Amino acid sequence: MSSRREIVKGLLGELPFTVEMYWLLRQRNRPFQGHYNLERLRRELPPACAQVEPMARSARRGRQVFVFSTLHYWVEQTTMMSLALAGLGDQVTLMYLPYSNFKRPISAFDRRRQNLYSREMLSPVAGLIRPISMLDVRQAPGLPEELELAVRQVSLLDCQYTLQSEEVDLGSELHAMRLERNTLAARAALGWLRTHRPEVVVIPNGTILELGIVYRVARYLELPVVTYEFNDQPGQIWIAQDDEIMRQNTDPLWQAGGATPLTADQHQRIHRLEKARKDARSFGRSDRLWQNAPTQGADKLRAALGLDGRPVALLATNVLGDSLTLSRNIFAASMSEWLTRSLQYFAGRRDVQLIVRIHPGECYLRGQSMLEVAQKALPELPENIRLIKPLEELNTYDLMEVTSLGLVYTTTTGLEMAMAGIPVIVSGETHYRQRGFTLDPQTWDEYHSLLEGILAAPASHRLSQSQVDLAWNYAYRFFFQFPRPFPWRLISFWKDYPQWPVGRVLGEEGRALFEATLHQLTGDPIEWTDYHQ
Give tens-digit pLDDT for 464-509. 999 999 999 999 999 999 999 999 999 899 999 999 999 999 999 9
Is residue 526 included in any domain, yes or no?
no
- Confidence grade of residue 439 (pLDDT, cut at 50, 70, 90): very high
Same domain, residue pair 293 and 159: no
Is residue 126 included in any domain, yes or no?
yes
Is residue 528 included in any domain, yes or no?
no
Same domain, residue pair 461 and 504: no
Same domain, residue pair 425 and 291: yes
Structural domain of 386: 264-479
Same domain, residue pair 442 and 425: yes
Full-model pTM: 0.90
pLDDT at 530: 78
Same domain, residue pair 225 and 288: no
Is residue 199 included in any domain, yes or no?
yes
Query: Which of 66-70, 237-241, 297-301 has the lowest average pLDDT?
Result: 297-301
Same domain, residue pair 132 and 192: yes
Residue 461 CA to residue 334 CA, distance in Å, equals 27
State the total domains in the chain.
2
Is residue 509 included in any domain, yes or no?
yes
pLDDT at 321: 65
Query: Which of 177-191, 230-244, 299-313, 316-330 has the lowest average pLDDT?
Result: 316-330
Same domain, residue pair 512 and 396: no
Which of 91, 63, 94 is closest to 224 using CA atoms? 63
| Digit-coded pLDDT (tens) for 266-276 | 999 999 988 88
Same domain, residue pair 276 and 183: no
Q: What is the mean pLDDT of residues 347-359?
A: 93
Q: How far is CA 391 from the centre of its chain?
A: 24
| Digit-coded pLDDT (tens) for 24-77 | 545 555 555 567 889 999 999 999 999 999 999 999 999 999 999 999 999 999
pLDDT at 289: 47
Is residue 254 included in any domain, yes or no?
no
Which of the two residues, 18 and 239, has the higher pLDDT score? 239
Q: What is the mean pLDDT of the chain?
A: 89
Q: What is the mean pLDDT of residues 424-441?
A: 97
Same domain, residue pair 456 and 489: no
CATH number at residue 367: 3.40.50.2000
Concatenating the DSSP letter of every residue in 116-168 gives HHHHHHTGGGBTTBEEEEGGGSPPPS---HHHHHHHHHHHHHHHHHHHT-S--
Same domain, residue pair 466 and 494: no
- Confidence grade of residue 450 (pLDDT, cut at 50, 70, 90): very high
Residue 54 CA to residue 515 CA, distance in Å, equals 17
